[in-house]
Amino acid sequence: MNSKNSEDDPNEPEISEVQNQENAIFVRDIQDTKNTTPYYDIARLISLKVRRFRMSYENLQYLFMLVRQRCDLKPRARKGSRLIEIPTEAEFEKFFSVIRNQKHRLIFLMLDGSGLRVSELCNLEVHRIDFATNLVTVKQGKGSKDRVTVIGNRLREKLEIYLADKNLRYLFESSRGSKFGPRSIQLLCAHYRKKAGIKSRMVPHCFRHRYLSRLVSKNMSTHKVMQVAGHTSPEMTERYLHINLAQYRLEFIQALDGGSGENPQ
């Protein structure tokens, strides 16, 4: 790339002058057809150009920046953070009370006692559970990241009993020997929720929320909870703080009623 281009945009990746000209034509073509050409046709056009010029990932990023500028495309506004809502303790108790199938019961106990996402539970191999230390290794979890989470002694004992007479690769397998899929567990959750007469929203991910909220309620540091949760920022973990507001309710009320100044009554 010549010095002029470098001075104009120091972040521009190294692309030849001929390639830049081709890119300009390419951007124009996309701009002209953006409202009429199906997405797969645009993807095919992009793929041809990427292969022809042997573009790197950085080249492609720069190209899409040009497309956004020429087409005057603005990023979608980020969604505001929502408070996490989970069923009440009474509803969780009702849910477990109607499960008679021991494997199904253990599936939800594992979600509740490990903080695993449903897809992570489906992919959990037995050898990833260290029964000596109560540690569970998650391989290629969300974002293709590995992490380690912790289970309690009572859950570990239930798992040991469940596995005593079995030779499984995955912790939970169907009668055909294949691992459970997320959809199967979602359907089981919906079935038992209906059977228990629970009106509020209850999905497998609620059990992960419950696990993490219990850790936060015991005043465990945000950093520690982040590690077992696999969160990438403290803000994600701090969303659980409001769930445990109830345990401090009396302190707030006492502070409000016992404060100085005129009594609002």
| Residues that are catalytic | 117, 142, 205, 208, 231, 240
The distance between the two most distant Cα atoms of the chain, rounded to a whole number of Å, is 79
Three-state SS sequence of the chain:
CCHHHHHHCCCCCCCCHHHHHHHHHHHHHHHHHCCCCCHHHHHHHHHHHHHHHCCCHHHHHHHHHHHHHHCCCCCCCCCCCCCCCCCCHHHHHHHHHCCCCHHHHHHHHHHHHHCCCHHHHHCCEHHHEECCCCEEEECCCHHHCCEEEECCHHHHHHHHHHHCCCCCCECCECCCCCECCHHHHHHHHHHHHHHHCCCCCCCCHHHHHHHHHHHHHCCCCHHHHHHHHCCCCHHHHHCCHHHHHHHHHHHHHHHHHCCCCCCCC
